């Protein structure tokens, strides 16, 4: 059985470039370190005092504690950890040790340890900051939320919610959840599964969506263009809608027009009235009655970009000049 590695051929070629024993140039100290050390030791007063110390006529410990910077020496208090060599040679030795002294294996160990430390420290820092930020509402809420992977923060009616999700087939792209509820997200999902239907293309063009955008599965749309897409979706019904539902494997009952595919009340008929949203004040119910009326208190806690999909995507209500 072949064992596949995690490095590409380009990674391997780049790695070989820093292996001196295969013709590459061994990894070494940054050139600015070497040039700065040379510049420092070339300063006349530093050079002269260092030379005086080197003669042995002046004890190193005396000058090291009196004016170490001018004598390129390490103060006595630090010599137990850094040694009593010159300051610049100690720096050079430490840099070479960090870089593995030309041994890429040793350098990799140091780099991995440093990366692991940075990663762990950043997670702790970010978690601490998020925990104290009143505007962050996506973190830990309850033990239920943790044990269910966040599902209980959406709905605690697991059976009903699960049934609704199963009926949606391939409608929801888990890699594009940030755009869930946008008409363009539905077009993108259809395009990822197959080409769009002739009826849908005709409706999009008739609504005023530019032809080049209709043909581009990865197109970016303005708010006004999303409005036009929604209007086109309201015209897809009957056999044309059934074709799209089969393509997406959607079996949810009660879908009358393609526009219903961006309406949570239509998409989650069994569980929409159990859906909740995280706010700075904890989880709050989204819909307050069987007709799908949205909790008006959310208007003060959720941004408009989040509220739009919750209300059945009211992009169709935007003024004509909205872009």
pTM of the model: 0.52
CA–CA dist 195, 244 (Å, integer)? 11
CA gap 137, 150 in Å, rounded? 12
| Rounded CA separation 1/5 (Å) | 13
pLDDT in tens, 108-134: 777 788 888 888 888 888 877 766 665
Q: Over the range 169-179, which residues count as b (16 or more CB within 10 Å of their CB) and which as e?
A: bebbeeeeeeb
301 vs 166, more confident:
166
Q: Give the tens place of pLDDT for each residue, 138-174.
A: 555 566 666 776 777 788 888 999 999 999 999 998 8
pLDDT in tens, 252-272: 999 999 999 988 899 999 999
Q: Answer yes or no: are the C-beta atoms of 271 and 161 closer than 8 Å.
A: yes
Please tell me the predicted confidence (pLDDT) of residue 255. Answer: 94
Mean pLDDT of the chain: 77
Cβ-contact 294, 287 below 8 angstroms: yes
Q: How many CB atoms neighbour CB 25 within 10 A?
A: 9
* Residue 21 in this model has a pLDDT that exceeds 60: no
């Amino acid at each position: 059985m072949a064992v596949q590695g995690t490095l590409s051929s380009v990674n391997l070629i780049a790695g070989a470039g820093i292996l001196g024993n295969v013709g590459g140039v061994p990894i070494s100290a940054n050139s600015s370190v070497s040039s700065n050390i040379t510049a420092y030791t070339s300063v006349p007063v530093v050079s002269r005092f260092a030379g005086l110390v080197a003669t042995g006529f002046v004890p190193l410990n005396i000058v090291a504690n009196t004016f170490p910077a001018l004598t390129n020496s390490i103060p006595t208090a630090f010599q137990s950890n850094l040694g009593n060599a010159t300051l610049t040679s100690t720096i050079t030795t430490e840099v070479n040790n960090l870089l593995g002294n030309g041994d890429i294996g040793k350098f990799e160990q140091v780099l991995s340890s440093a990366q692991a430390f940075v990663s762990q420290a950043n997670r702790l820092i970010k978690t601490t900051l998020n925990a104290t930020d009143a505007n962050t509402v996506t973190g830990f809420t309850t033990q239920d939320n943790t044990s269910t992977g966040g599902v209980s923060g959406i709905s605690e009616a697991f059976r009903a919610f699960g049934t609704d999700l199963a009926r949606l087939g391939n409608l929801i792209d888990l890699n594009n959840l940030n755009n869930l509820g946008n008409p363009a997200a539905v077009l993108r999902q259809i395009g990822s599964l197959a080409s769009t239907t002739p009826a849908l293309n005709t409706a999009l063009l008739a609504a005023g969506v530019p032809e080049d955008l209709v043909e581009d599965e990865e197109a970016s749309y303005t708010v006004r263009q999303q409005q036009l897409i929604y209007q086109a979706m309201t015209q897809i019904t009957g056999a044309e809608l059934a074709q799209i539902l089969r393509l997406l494997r959607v079996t949810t009952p009660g879908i009358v027009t393609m526009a219903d595919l961006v309406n949570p009340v239509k998409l989650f008929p069994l569980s929409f009235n159990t859906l909740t949203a995280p706010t700075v004040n904890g989880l709050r119910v989204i819909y307050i009655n069987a007709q799908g009326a949205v909790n008006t208190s959310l208007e003060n806690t959720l941004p408009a970009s989040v509220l739009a999909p919750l209300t059945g995507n009211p992009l169709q209500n935007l003024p004509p000049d909205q872009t």
